[in-house]
Amino acid sequence: MAGYFPILDWGRDYSSETLTNDLIAALIVTIMLIPQSLAYALLAGLPAEMGLYASILPLLAYAVFGTSRVLAVGPVAVLSLMTAAAAGSLALPGSADYIAAAMTLALLSGIFLIVMGLFRLGFLANFLSHPVISGFITASGLIIAASQIRHLIGVDASGHNLFQILSALAGALPETNFVTAAIGFPVLIFLFWVRNGLKPLLSRLGLSQRTIGFLTKAGPVAAVAVSTALVWFLDLGRHGVSIVGDIPDGLPPLTIPSFSLSVWAALIGSAALISTIGFVESVSVAQTLAAKRRQRIAPDQELIGLGASNIAAAFSGGYPVTGGFARSAVNFDAGAETPAAGAFTAAGIALATLFLMPLLFFLPKATLAATIIVAVLSLVDFSILKRTWSYSKADFASVAMTIAMTLGFGVEVGVSTGVALSIGLFLFKTSRPHMAVVGLVEGTEHFRNVKRHEVVTDPHVLNLRVDESLYFANARFLEERVYDMVAANDVLEHVVLMCSAVNEIDASALESLEAINQQLGEIGVKLHLSEVKGPVMDRLKRAEFLNHLTGEVFLSQYQAAAHLHDLPRARTEDD
């Protein structure tokens, strides 16, 4: 049972020292999460309290089902933006139907994740390559940051992509509320300074690293407290400063997502993308942090843990959640040892919903916007373009196209394009596998590409190394290359396919091998195989191909060459 309920594993050895460390980490993460959760809910176009609700029961659910000791689950910027895009296609932001659509997205995402986990389909997330994810997050960060500028200057300007947002902002600039800007931009500068400049200052003062970490993570809380007090004391609401307003206090209510088939049909595609991207982000963070402590996570069980968290969010007034990088890193640095730290964080946020909500009435939205901007700009990474350009033009194309499509057409189109392009490029590359004519490196038993090394060859024998598994997409390409090479050599008697890089031969490729064997046999050329891997040979033995093979199957390429023609003797230690 511990495989499905990891709490039964780490809970056995829970000690008072572990409890202390988890409580300290929970306190720090709670302080960080309160303003962040409020901000991300507004980014998603939802009431602010839904961000807090999404940070309570989901954390408890992950503590029971998750395998990472430090992953902190809750709302994140990218999923908030995707939620806004998906729910906005069905209803107006803030409406009852919009809120119901957001909760339904969480339910569908949870179901999708749990089904993937039960059927061990975590590998499907591998179709989102790291360059595509990096490009998508970079573009999403720019869109999110641009979308929050309207709150910094107090104007009404929105859009679904970067160009719409910037165009709307340009048109709305004459309507700038300078009182709002006088709050938003100083808060923005302060938060950037807290992130980059406060830590060195505190270090020079001789404070401990734990104290420094606590104070730097409390920066957003200080910004919230001071800006809220200023708006209340100076009554800036009268001057057009937009505030959060009345936030219902109390624990998350029991909510029922929509079970309308039409709503499910409209949201299922978005839910699949949200859950997949959320899983990739979460498992990447979890694996990185686990490796630092020589721990391991179970990706398939992580699917179940994240699925349970999303379902918990759906029935407690929340919206899609995942493991966030920033809060998880803070949880790790603060000394969290078990998922119980997440449960304690949930308790802290629950207490905040009970007692602190009236204090946030005058919280300016400009402060929350500044919090979001600082958080998401840390995710923007254009260096990925330079790295992929110098290393792989195909990966560069994936990144560049993902960024361009996300900025130009929105998050769902962007990530869908990135995935499609990655898969398309993979199929293109594997459909035209690298094949090298190889020869013997003199004095050794090694065979290398004739274009790269000085090697010994025999005009009567074609030694062809295939550097890819053989399957339906490249089977015909293999046939054509072999026929072309054979046609260009009138004295050829043997073709040896060196299969050291072939991990699989599917039915289509087997038919191509049979066709090659037959065609070569008709013109007096024998087909041989060498260095065939065990699993591949097992399959070949179940077919009739080996019974009709005109040549032989050799254990090594050197054995094949030695059998087919005289070779120089390899040097030995005695030589």
Domains, the chain, ordered by start: 20-248+256-423 (no CATH), 435-564 (3.30.750.24)
Contact 496, 564 (CB under 8 A): yes
Tell me: pLDDT of 408 over 50: yes
**What is the reported pLDDT for 423?**
82
Q: Which of 135-139, 190-194, 207-211 has the lowest mean pLDDT?
A: 207-211
- pLDDT in the model for residue 3: 66
Q: For residue range 506-536, what is the model confidence (pLDDT) as tens digits? A: 999 999 999 999 999 999 999 999 999 999 9
In this predicted model, which residue has the larger pLDDT, 314 or 394? 314
Dump pLDDT digits (tens) for 32-57.
788 889 989 988 999 999 999 999 99
Q: What's the average model confidence in pLDDT over 358-371? A: 90
DSSP assignment letter at 254? P
**Which stretch of 100-104, 291-295, 399-403 has the lowest confidence by average pLDDT?**
291-295
Assess whether pLDDT exceeds 60 at residue 572. no
Residues 6 or more apart in contact with residue 95 via CB below 8 angstroms = none
With cut-offs at 50, 70 and 90, classify the pLDDT of residue 571.
very low
Could you write out the DSSP letters of every residue in 31-95? HHHHHHHHHHHHHTTS-HHHHHHTTTHHHHHHHHH---SS--EE--HHHHHHHHHHHHTTS-TTS
Above 60 in pLDDT, residue 570?
no
Closest CA to 101 of 244, 262, 254, 249: 262
pLDDT digits (tens, 9 = 90+) for 88-135: 989 988 899 999 999 999 999 999 999 999 998 877 767 777 788 888
Q: What is the Cα gyration radius of the chain?
A: 30
Q: What pTM was computed for the model? A: 0.79
Return the bridge partners of 76, or none.
Answer: none
Asked if 113 contacts 310 with a C-beta cutoff of 8 angstroms, the reply is yes
Distance CA 379, CA 390 (A): 22
Cα–Cα distance list, 464 to 26, 518, 527 (Å): 60, 18, 11
Over residues 191-214, mean pLDDT: 79
> Which H or E element spans position 445?
none
Q: Which residues have a Cβ under 8 Å from the Cβ of 284 and sit 6 or more positions away?
A: 133
CA distance 74 to 304: 15
